[in-house]
Amino acid sequence: MSLTRMRLMLAAGALAVSGTVAGTMLAAAPASAVPAKSSPVVLVNACTGHGQVRPNGYKPGCMPSNSFISGMKWTTWRSAAFGSATFKVNNCTPSSSCGPSQFTKYPILTVLWRAKPWLGHPGRLHFTRMTVIFDGKLHPHGAATETLKV
């Protein structure tokens, strides 16, 4: 079995397990943790503080960053969200003469999870974790997955 096929199988298994865990956790949550109104869970932009439903991109952190996620396509958006995207990493170093768009692109699967009450927004939930699963070439640090606090 090829390494890429093995990674895809592991990624699919991780998505299935995380969805089951998220559903179980939401079902076990106290009634006060679940909003009375059925408004969609949001992904909060760290820089602006605005919540987004099914965003097409995300930039971890507020400072100028060397990485961002683009082309997000969502298959599910409930108490957990599943999708695919491209993780882009700037591969330019200060000593090199890089032009614009010197990014290495990594195909990823994306899981948003751990929905919690959104402070200052009564009855709304926001995702607090994002797991990215590299389903092709690995992240520059060699990780097959990475979980971010969002």
pLDDT tens-place string over residues 6-35: 444 445 555 444 444 444 444 444 444 444
**pTM of structure:** 0.69
Domain ranges of the chain: 3-149
pLDDT > 90 fraction of the chain, expressed in percent and rounded: 40
- What does the DSSP assignment read for 68-84? EEEEEEEEEESSSEEEE
pLDDT tens-place string over residues 57-100: 998 777 666 788 999 999 999 999 999 999 888 777 765 566 66
User: For residue 144, what is the DSSP state?
Assistant: S
